[in-house]
Amino acid sequence: MSDDFGYFRTSEEHEMLRATVRSLAQAKIAPHAAEVDERGRFPQEARETLEANGLHAVHVPEAYDGAGADALSTVIVIEEVARVCASSSLIPAVNKLGSLPVQLSGSEELKAKYLGALARGEGLFSYCLSEADAGSDAAAMTTRAVRDGDAYVLNGVKRWITNAGVSDFYTVMAVTDPGKRSKGISAFVVEKGDEGVSFGAPERKLGIKGSPTREVYFDDVRIPADRIIGGEGTGFATAMKTLDHTRITIAAQALGIAQGALDYAKGYVRERKQFGKPIGDFQGIQFMLADMAMKLEAARQLTYAAAARSERSCTGGGDQELTFFGAAAKCFASDAAMEITTDAVQLLGGYGYSRDYPLERMMRDAKITQIYEGTNQVQRIVMARNLT
């Protein structure tokens, strides 16, 4: 690996963006976070706030009515929203995941139509890769797309689809040539309103309860042939290239969750008194906080460095180490978030275990960051392969 780690720097504009998003999130999103989790409802207030301020899909290029923000800006937006509500942070994160295949490999017509609609707030974008028997082994998918004249006909079921039923647009991976395994997979844009598209019941989950996760069913869904993303057989390569970039957004979500937990725990130990003084005065508590802050800052440095590599790759400069750094950032930051939120619950003692306080929610939300967009075991496989 390269010895030069000086690839990123937060500019004055980045810090202004952080302050703006933090203020909005604290005022408009945080007040609803507990109730969103309790009821398991979509955080509509967050969507409206983000769209009203152009923060729901900042990655979309200016050519398609977007902000044209760099990868680090996207990370900062997701991080600051996740600091108060992980479910809400999946709005900008999944918008990037769902639309990036179009941005990377789509025709100019697809980009203008769908990236433009996303940037203008005309619909959210989701990503349909996983299936019941094709999770870590995504190439084992069975959803089919058969060419029929000037159209493709899709049949199959996708599982664990974030924001399914709320999103209007879906990037769908489907087999067009069953004999070629990964090289026989193609990518398509499917709209929620296409005939034959339907959704299963929301999954009952441990965390991120405000972000609906459903199966998506495709029953003889006929879509125009020009909705293919790239050429036939290029879908799997596009999917993997997309994940190189978007694993960094999951790292950003993990950073935000962990930062929120650390902030709350620091405030608590200053106020909570035992044995006649604040518990934050005890060395054992101080050491816990020091370890939490150290892990978080290490995760942030790695994530921001990965974001810089993502930006160079997207702007044509290329970066041979992006795959490693994307996997490393996602893996390290999510492991750190799980440890930090667990320790934060511990610092509050019995109160940490109570739903009257936000830390048990943050701990539950942190867990998924170790699982989706590739489990952390898969991330370690990815990293190991790239070491050579």
| Closest C-alpha among 334, 346, 333 to residue 370 | 334
On whether the CB atoms of residues 56 and 95 are closer than 8 A, the answer is yes
Range of the domain at 188: 125-235
Work out the pLDDT band at 337, boundaries 50, 70, 90.
very high
Q: Are residues 165 and 206 in the same domain?
A: yes
Angle at which helices 235-271 and 359-368 pack, to 10 degrees? 160
Write down which residue in 203, 235, 267 finishes a domain. Answer: 235
Together in a domain, 262 and 189 = no
Cα atoms found within 13 Å of the Cα of residue 210, Cβ hemisphere only? 27
Q: For residues 249 and 368, state if they share a domain.
A: yes
Query: Which two tokens mark 162?
Result: 């974030």
What does the pLDDT average to over 156-175? 98
Please provide the average confidence, as pLDDT, over all residues in the chain. 95
Please tell me the number of Cα atoms within 13 Å of 52 on its side-chain side: 10
d(CA 214, CA 162): 7
Looking at the structure, tell me whether residues 44 and 57 fall in a common domain. Answer: yes
Residue 341 lies in a domain: yes
Whole-number pLDDT of residue 8: 58
Q: Which of 182, 202, 235 is the last residue of a domain?
A: 235
In this structure, the answer to whether residues 243 and 382 fall within a common structural domain is yes
pLDDT in tens, 270-283: 999 999 999 999 99
Number of domains in the chain: 3
Structure tokens at 273: 């008194």
Catalytic residue among 79, 215, 232, 373: 373
Residue 130 sits in the same domain as residue 145: yes
Are 193 and 143 spatial neighbours (Cβ–Cβ below 8 Å)?
A: no
Q: What is the pTM of this model?
A: 0.96
> Are 281 and 367 in a shared domain?
yes
| Cβ-contact 50, 85 below 8 angstroms | no
What is the greatest pairwise CA distance in the chain?
Answer: 79
Q: Is residue 315 domain-shared with residue 225, that is, in the same domain?
A: no
The CATH number that applies at residue 81 is 1.10.540.10
Alpha-carbon distance of 174 to 185, in angstroms, equals 6
Q: Which amino acid is at 330?
A: K
Q: What number is the average pLDDT over the span 150-161? A: 98
Same domain? 68 vs 164: no
**Phi, psi dihedrals of residue 125, rounded to the nearest 5°:** -125, 130
> Is 13 considered catalytic here?
no
Query: Could you tell me which residues come within 8 angstroms of residue 364 by beta carbon, excluding any fewer than 6 positions away?
Result: 206, 207
> Domain boundary residue among 119, 150, 178?
119
Indicate whether 42 pLDDT > 90.
yes
Residue 324 has pLDDT above 60, yes or no: yes
pLDDT at position 3 is: 41
Residue 313: what pLDDT?
Answer: 80
Whichever domain contains 223, its CATH number is 2.40.110.10
CATH code of 262's domain: 1.20.140.10
- Identify whether the C-beta of residue 182 lies closer than 8 Å to the C-beta of residue 130: no
Distance CA 317, CA 10 (A): 20
Do 80 and 192 lie in one domain? The reply is no
pLDDT of residue 320: 73
Tell me the per-residue pLDDT of 201-228, one tens digit each, with 9 for 90 and over.
999 999 999 999 999 999 999 999 999 9
5 confidence band (pLDDT: 50, 70, 90): very low
What DSSP state is assigned to residue 112? I
